[in-house]
Amino acid sequence: TQLLEQSPQFLSIQEGENLTVYCNSSSVFSSLQWYRQEPGEGPVLLVTVVTGGEVKKLKRLTFQFGDARKDSSLHITAAQPGDTGLYLCAGGTGNQFYFGTGTSLTVIP
């Protein structure tokens, strides 16, 4: 069962552009995480959001958790080639995590 839908699935942009990635669900999660994964490596945790409406910033990355704790967004300002990778959102509930299918981002120099 795919509980988390991410959009877009693929994104290719020029260096310096801004972008937003979305993670949507019909389910409520007690927390939501964002990960970045580079080819051949495991996902690396970027941020965890737990409170509805919460906004967290990590340098040029801004994460927002929806008020109802069902959705989240990741906004990148002035993207750089080092931002290239697969971005995954994950919702935690009970003893499990549910992962979105990911957004593959390519930033062209």
Partner 1 sequence: DVKVTQSSRYLVKRTGEKVFLECVQDMDHENMFWYRQDPGLGLRLIYFSYDVKMKEKGDIPEGYSVSREKKERFSLILESASTNQTSMYLCASSFSGDTEAFFGQGTRLTVV
β-pairing verdict for 103-108 and 10-14: parallel
Rg (CA), the chain: 13
Kindly report the backbone phi and psi dihedral angles of residue 103, in degrees, each rounded to the nearest multiple of 5, phi listed first. Answer: -120, 120
CB of 59 to partner 1, least distance (A): 19
For residues 88 and 105, which CB has a smaller minimum distance to partner 1 in the complex?
88
By C-beta, is 39 or 109 nearer to partner 1? 39
Question: What's the closest the beta carbon of residue 32 comes to partner 1, in angstroms?
Answer: 10
**Least distance (Å) between residue 18 CB and partner 1:** 26
Does the bond joining 39 to the residue before it have cis omega, within 30 degrees of 0? no
* Those residues with Cβ within 8 angstroms of residue 41's Cβ, 6 or more apart along the chain or in another chain: none
Task: Give the interface with partner 1 as residue ranges (CB under 8 A).
Answer: 1-2, 29-31, 33, 35, 40-45, 48, 88, 90, 92-97, 99-102
